[in-house]
Structure 1
Amino acid sequence: MKICANCQTSLPPEARFCHQCGALQLSSLKPATATPDWDWEAPLVQQAFARFQERLNERVACEQDEAQLPQYQERLYESNYRETVQRRLLQWEESLTISPHETEQQRHLHELRHLCDDLLDFFFIIHCADVNKIVLPQVLLRYQQLPVEEIDLGEMALAFLDFEHEEERLYTDFVKMPVNKIRNAGKAFLFPEREEKIWFICDQSLLGNAKKGFAMTEKALYWKSGLQAAQRVYYHKLFALSKEKEWLLINELYFNASPSLNTKMIWLLRRLSRLLRADL
């Protein structure tokens, strides 16, 4: 037997998730891939483009179909988007003030990570719509450069998740939502703080009683899947976000809505964490 580090429940040795709280068991985590050291004395654009390609590989594997990676790489050259990427990376390099301080250097690398993600967002949506396994609406690009003060985050969440093309039961008007469903969601998985604004509740229960599903508020994602305990992750406390097979690991906690919603949730949480200054 082994013990879940999150809730202390006894588990069989082969358990990958805790059946009580849903936490991923650390022994089942894949070894982290080492990131090559950055050399501030070497050509920066060349290193930055290598980082861009690494990020492309990561995101295709996480968000789309890893088997399609050669098509994405080929499209990068066919579309001439490679030249656009290199121009933007050159602009990033020219804007740098190289400092010996590690904190400043890390800030530059975080900026590079964000730039690569912005470039890849555009690449996936505009140049790879026919390659993508999961359809991504162009409206997502509207939020790229806007500061958080100019964004209605609840509206953005609904735009990213694009429920109009999903089959889920969604509630955004809680006056019209049946009282018993609101009560069930509140008992099962939705535990907001007083005055915490709820954006929506997605009912994924087989009986339509809202005892399972997920909800998003101005502060956090709340959910309950299968026999697992209810979970909550605050956007500003996100530290890990990945896909394993057909489900997501959010702060190492199991989440599974649907293949398309899982991918769109990755995009949404990455944007929310960035807007709310989490390091992801």
Structure 2
Amino acid sequence: MPETIELPQGCPKVKSFSNFAPTEQKLPEMKKCRACQQPIADAAARCPHCGAAVIEETILCPACGEENSLYASACVSCGTRFFAGDPEPGIDDDIFGNASLDALQREVAKRFETAFRKRLEEEHSPVLHPRYYERLQQSGFQGNLNFRIEQLATEVSALGADFRTKAVKKLLERNFEELLDYFIIRFCADLNETNYPEAILRYHGKSLDQIDLRRMILDYLDLEVEDLSWYDDFVAMPAGKLRNAADNFLFPKKDEKLFLIVNTAILGNCKNGFAMTSKCLYWKTELEPAQRVFYHKLEEVKRDDKWITINGIFFHASTSIDLKMIRLLKRLRV
């Protein structure tokens, strides 16, 4: 007999609440969106948070464990390539330069993937890397890329098909930088953390001796959209600010042409900031000593948390300027 609760006379007797187990409601199964990592219903065809398509059949990356399309050629998270069989011997092992054009194309494609991964690691937030990989695979850029890889393979062949030579390395580095610029600017504007100016693309295919360097620096940094004060007319620049810059971080040689000065000082007095000349970048940040790097001595420029490093030295103006500065300095280095 079920337990009863004694109620005042005249009230009906009811079963004890201890005999009523709550009905268990089964929640829909959830999984994480591979693009934005937000929870989504297991049966969803598209993520309601970021709009990414949900892959039905997947393969797991052996390097990082990320889910990928069954037909993906590389991992959307870490860039690891998926091979149907054993990878072919490295092109660099062919010391006689007898590699076929198809083999050269595969090698150029592999090196582009490495360059793409390096670009993301050095310049873009890790949180966004999967979305850049996905955009590369799904955008119209893929057709342009395949065509350019075929062209580059032919050019590499004409140079002797030896990827170890300086000429081939320079050819690929310059072209990969330009291809990635085009992809990032034209196809990834909604993913980028700064608005990379279209003007960057004007300088593709040109050597530094064919370029108006002052104009290129201004085009890359696009300072007119930034909140910081800057000067490229030093006659009109307040004399006190010019003197503060010269006293604190700007020490150009006589043969250098001064192109611009950007003030980053909190008080607006130009005791902190950066300046660019025809040969060198000078800068000083709060509580840090003055620094300089000549363009011909640029070795490594990369993002590091909320700032960037130039040859391992701390630099920070603003997030937007920092990211555009990476692009500019790498262009000056190529």
After TM superposition, the score normalised by the length of structure 2 is 0.67
Q: Secondary structure at the match of 2:236?
A: coil
Whole-angstrom CA distance in 1 between matches of 2:256 and 2:200: 25
Give yes or no for the alignment of 1:111 onto 2:171: yes
Shift of 1:62: 2.4
1:38/1:229 CA distance change after superposition, 3 Å: farther
Q: How does 1:159-178 map to 2 (within 5 A)?
A: 159-178=219-238
Counterpart position of 2:216: 156
In structure 1, what residue type is equivalent to 2:158? T
Counterpart position of 2:152: 92
Q: How does 1:1-280 map to 2 (within 5 A)?
A: 39-40=91-92, 41=94, 43-95=103-155, 96-97=157-158, 99=160, 105-274=165-334
1:100/1:170 CA distance change after superposition, 3 Å: closer
Whole-angstrom CA distance in 1 between matches of 2:148 and 2:105: 9
1:260/1:148 CA distance change after superposition, 3 Å: same
Do 1:45 and 1:86's aligned partners in 2 also have CA atoms closer than 8 Å?
A: no
Do 2:196 and 2:324's aligned partners in 1 also have CA atoms closer than 8 Å?
A: yes
Do 1:216 and 1:222's aligned partners in 2 also have CA atoms closer than 8 Å?
A: yes
Whole-angstrom CA distance in 2 between matches of 1:137 and 1:159: 7
Whole-angstrom CA distance in 1 between matches of 2:331 and 2:139: 26
Whole-angstrom CA distance in 2 between matches of 1:208 and 1:178: 11
Deviations 1:200-253 (A, max 9, x none): 111111111111100000010000012111101000111111111111111111
Shift of 1:79: 1.6
In structure 2, what residue type is equivalent to 1:182? L
Shift of 1:167: 0.6
Percent pairwise identity: 38
Whole-angstrom CA distance in 1 between matches of 2:211 and 2:200: 12
Shift of 1:71: 1.6
Shift of 1:39: 2.0
Whole-angstrom CA distance in 1 between matches of 2:322 and 2:311: 14
1:223/1:208 CA distance change after superposition, 3 Å: same
Runs (4+) off by over 6 Å: 100-103
Query: Which is helix-richer, 1 or 2?
Result: 1
Whole-angstrom CA distance in 2 between matches of 1:56 and 1:98: 23
Do 1:64 and 1:134's aligned partners in 2 also have CA atoms closer than 8 Å?
A: no
Whole-angstrom CA distance in 1 between matches of 2:121 and 2:159: 33
Shift of 1:92: 1.2
In structure 2, what residue type is equivalent to 1:122? Y
Deviations 1:119-163 (A, max 9, x none): 110000111111212211111100111232332111110110111
1:76/1:102 CA distance change after superposition, 3 Å: closer
Shift of 1:83: 2.5
Q: Secondary structure at the match of 2:227?
A: coil
After TM superposition, the score normalised by the length of structure 1 is 0.79
Whole-angstrom CA distance in 1 between matches of 2:179 and 2:260: 30
Whole-angstrom CA distance in 2 between matches of 1:82 and 1:271: 23
Gaps of 5+ in 1: 1-36, 275-280
Q: Secondary structure at the match of 1:57?
A: helix
How many residue pairs align between the two structures? 237
Do 1:161 and 1:268's aligned partners in 2 also have CA atoms closer than 8 Å?
A: yes
In structure 1, what residue type is equivalent to 2:252? P
Identify the range of structure 1 (147-156 vs 220-229) with the bigger mean alpha-carbon deviation: 147-156
Structure with the greater relative contact order (CA < 8 A, sep ≥ 6): 1 or 2? Answer: 1
Aligned-residue RMSD, C-alpha:
1.9
Of structures 1 and 2, the larger Rg is shown by 2
Shift of 1:81: 1.7
Q: Secondary structure at the match of 2:281?
A: strand
Counterpart position of 2:34: none
1:113/1:223 CA distance change after superposition, 3 Å: same
Do 2:208 and 2:332's aligned partners in 1 also have CA atoms closer than 8 Å?
A: no
Whole-angstrom CA distance in 2 between matches of 1:236 and 1:200: 19
Q: Secondary structure at the match of 1:254?
A: strand
